[in-house]
Amino acid sequence: MFIIAIFLLLILFAILSFAIKESSWKIATLESLLILILTMVYGILRFTGYNGGFMSSYSYAIDTSIGISFTVGVSALSMALLFLSAVIMFIAIFVSGREKFDRSFYGLMLTTELGLYGLLISRNFLFFYVFWEAIIIPVFMLISIYGGAGKEKAALKFFVYTQIGSVFLLLSILTLFSFYGTANHVFTLNMSKLLDSSFIIKYISEPQPFWTDFLLFGFFFSFLVKMPSFPLHSWLPDAYTSAPYPVSIVLAGAISLMGGYGFFAVLLPIAPVIGSGIAWAIIILGIFSLVYFALVAMFQTDMKRMMAYASAASMGFISISLGIGILSTGYIAYLAVSGGIFQILAHGLIMGLVFSSLYIIKNTSGSQSNLTLSGLFREMPIISTFFLAGIMASLGLPGLAGFIAEASIVLASYQVIGYIIFFIIFGMIITASYHVWTVQKSLNGPYNENLGKLKDGTMMEIAVLSFLFIIILILGIYPSLFYHMILVYVKGVF
């Protein structure tokens, strides 16, 4: 019940934020902080000594004839991502205090969080789909109302892309639903029942292989759009760049988790159905995304855009991890998939740190271009250090969370892809190069005096960014905090 209480509280908070006019920033910050704390308490209570399966299972039947029920269940995967969404939302809402946003901004932000929570706890495909859709609307509005230059176009692009993805998702869900109904004469939308590889093999793959391909195509398409992966990414740079910074933080940290969540919550349980051809295609797509986005990012001068591409590049690891998980067995598969799940978490936190420190830099200096920024270490030593820490985490420096994920995937990958691993490494070298290059241009070097006298971050901001950094650091040094339960979950699913 605890998790439903949090969920209901979120509904209340979202409504409250729309309603209360005064000091909406403070209230929203406190609300998101409270949600974060409650989520952490929930995680500690339910997930110490976790041994697989779903916690807090609960089901309220709405319409039994077609199997609609409000079914809730939290796996280790969902738990890790609930924690991520809570952290990211708190950070995003907190740093937005730098600008004057009105109450509906915070209402929309909390609605987004509500959608994410709903998505992550639902075990019924109807609600999964509804929340999947529900997240798009507040984000669309956040970009199109509060965004910067080119906001309408960016928002529209985001909306159209993700809508097309959603249509395919719906078609796949309906396919599963109707096949299950015809086979068992019972209609259900329960995810645990529908995502059963023996059912799919017996009733879909063997009699009608076309529909398996259709089904997988729909899932892959919608998840890859959200990820985003090459070539379905063209909404990403515009959306990230045009969105106001707090929304960019949400996009990079929380919205990007949806694709990965779909991968591991929907596709991983039906992994035996996925053929090796598709798995290889996914791996190649992941590697290509990694290298391609890294090379594109290298040529950007706008650091926000650069980090948007960097974010997409590191999502490539998630595709690689799923593919390797499908193609291998035993510990290699566990490590690859756990690495992929850990990567969603790490990537979100790291992007939160990068974009929030970049936001403070942009807000103080008025620039986010590494052509005009130079020698920021002199004027803003602390925020620059946080930005540097984010950059280092983003390029996969050991000791920080991203490394654990990337190392798991890279270590496991040789078994499956052999010397193709060199392409991953090539991508990582490019990644390291442009990350360090942009630090050299923006933080190091002589200070650009035209920027005038700048003020470093406030004490509160430093405290919040330190909190975020410490999470990243702890996850890098003692990953078992999450890694262990993820591993248990993965072993259970396979």
Partner 1 sequence: MFSYAWFIFLVPIIFAPVSAFAGWRRKVYGGIVASLAIAVSFILAVLVYFNISNTRVPIYQSFNWFGNIDAGIYIDHLAIIMALMVSFVSLMIHLFALYYMKDDPRQNIYFGETALFTGGMLGLILSSNLLEFFLFWELVGLCSYLLVGFWFFKPNAASAAKKAFIVTRVGDLLFIIGLAILYSLLTSINVSSPLSIPYLISNAPAIAKEIGAQNLTIIGLLFLGGAAGKSAQFPLHVWIPDAMEGPTTVSALIHAATMVTAGVYLIARVLPLYSNATYIAPDAVLFVGAFTAMFAGTLGIVMNDLKRILAYSTISQIGYMMASLGMVSVIGDSVIGFSIYHLVVHAVFKALLFMTAGAILIALMELRDVRRMGGLWKKMPVTVTLMFIGSITLAAIPPTAAYFSKDTIIDAAYMYYIRSGANIYSVLPWIFLVIGALMTSLYTFRMFYLVALGKPRSKLAEEAKDPPIIALIPLMALAFLSLTLGIVQYPFYNFIHPNTIHVSVPLIVKYTPLTMVVIGILVIAGVYGTGMWKKMDLSKNIAYRILRAKYYLDYLFTRVIAERAILPLSSGFARMERGFSRDIEATGSGAMGFGSMLRRIQNGIVEYYFVFLIIGIAVIMLILEITGGL
- Answer whether 2's CB lies under 8 Å from 35's CB: no
If the CB atoms of residues 156 and 284 are measured against partner 1, the closer one turns out to be 156
Distance in Å, CB of 34 to partner 1, minimum: 30
Determine which residue in the list 251, 430, 464, 485 makes contact with partner 1, applying CB under 8 A.
430
Span near partner 1 by CB under 8 A; candidates 143-151, 162-170, 174-182, 410-418: 410-418
Give CA separation, 319 vs 122, 146, 269, 415, in Å: 23, 32, 15, 16
Please report how close the Cβ of residue 341 comes to partner 1 at its closest, in angstroms.
12
CB of 476 to partner 1, least distance (A): 8
By CB under 8 A, the residues from 80 to 139 that bind partner 1 are none
Question: What whole-number distance in Å separates Cα of residue 215 and Cα of residue 206?
Answer: 14
Residue 383 is a binding residue for partner 1 (CB under 8 A): no
Site for partner 1 in 472-491 (CB under 8 A): 479-480, 483-484, 487
Report the chain's C-alpha Rg in angstroms: 22
Q: Which stretch binds partner 1 (CB under 8 A): 12-20, 135-143, 217-225, 400-408?
A: 400-408
Should residue 224 be labelled a site residue for partner 1 when binding is judged by CB under 8 A? no
Q: Does 237 bind partner 1 (CB under 8 A)?
A: yes
Per DSSP, what are the bridge partners of residue 421?
Answer: none
Q: For partner 1, which residue of 151, 157, 347, 362 counts as binding (CB under 8 A)?
A: 157
293: Cβ–Cβ under 8 A, 6 or more apart, which residues?
Answer: 230, 233, 309, 310, 312, 313, 316
Can you tell me which of 24, 190, 311, 338 binds partner 1, judged by CB under 8 A?
338
**Which are the contacts of 480, defined by CB distance < 8 A and separation ≥ 6?**
none
Taking the CB of residue 33, how many other CB atoms lie within 10 A of it? 16
Nearer to partner 1, 18 or 447 (CB): 447
Minimal distance, residue 419 CB to partner 1, in Å:
9
List the helix and strand counts (H, then E) for the chain: 21, 2
Among 280, 414, 423, 494, binds partner 1 (CB under 8 A): 414
d(CA 52, CA 49): 10
3-state secondary structure 72-116: EEECHHHHHHHHHHHHHHHHHHHHHHHCCCCHHHHHHHHHHHHHH
Nearer to partner 1, 300 or 357 (CB): 300
Contact 263, 320 (CB under 8 A): no
Residue among 201 and 411 whose Cβ is closer to partner 1:
411
Q: Which is nearer to partner 1, 195 or 296 (CB)?
A: 296
Quick one: 29 exposed, middle or buried, by C-beta within 10 A (0-12, 13-18, 19+)?
Answer: buried
Residue from 42, 83, 158, 292 in contact with partner 1 (CB under 8 A): 292
Q: Which of 124, 241, 364, 413 binds partner 1 (CB under 8 A)?
A: 413
> Given the complex with partner 1, which of 36 and 320 has the nearer CB atom?
320
Contacts of 419 (CB under 8 A, 6+ apart): none
Q: Is 425 in the site for partner 1 (CB under 8 A)?
A: yes
For position 58 contacting partner 1 by CB under 8 A, the verdict is no
Q: Which of 407, 420, 454, 462 is close enough to bind partner 1 by CB under 8 A? A: 407
- Burial (CB < 10 A; 0-12, 13-18, 19+), residue 198, is exposed
392 is an interface residue for partner 1 by CB under 8 A: yes
- Cis omega (within 30 of 0) on the bond before 231? yes
- Closest listed residue to residue 435, CA positions, set 390, 382, 401: 390
Sign of CA dihedral 328, 331, 337, 340: negative
Quick one: 51 or 433, whose CB is closer to partner 1? Answer: 433
DSSP string computed for 398-457: TTSHHHHHHHHHHHHHHHHHGGGHHHHHHHHHHHHHHHHHHHHHHTSSS--GGG---PPP
- Judge whether 263 and 285 are in contact, CB under 8 Å: no
| Residue 32 binding partner 1, by CB under 8 A | no
C-beta separation of 327 from 277 below 8 A = no
Q: Which stretch binds partner 1 (CB under 8 A): 39-47, 51-59, 120-128, 413-421?
A: 413-421
Nearer to partner 1, 118 or 476 (CB): 476
CB of 439 to partner 1, least distance (A): 8
Task: Lay out the site mask for partner 1 across 432-461 (x = CB under 8 A, - = otherwise).
Answer: xx--xx-xx--xxxxx--------------
Binding site for partner 1 (CB under 8 A): 153, 156-157, 160, 231, 234, 237-238, 292, 295-296, 298-300, 330-332, 334-335, 338, 375, 377-378, 392, 397-399, 403-404, 407-408, 410-415, 421-422, 425, 428-430, 432-433, 436-437, 439-440, 443-447, 479-480, 483-484, 487
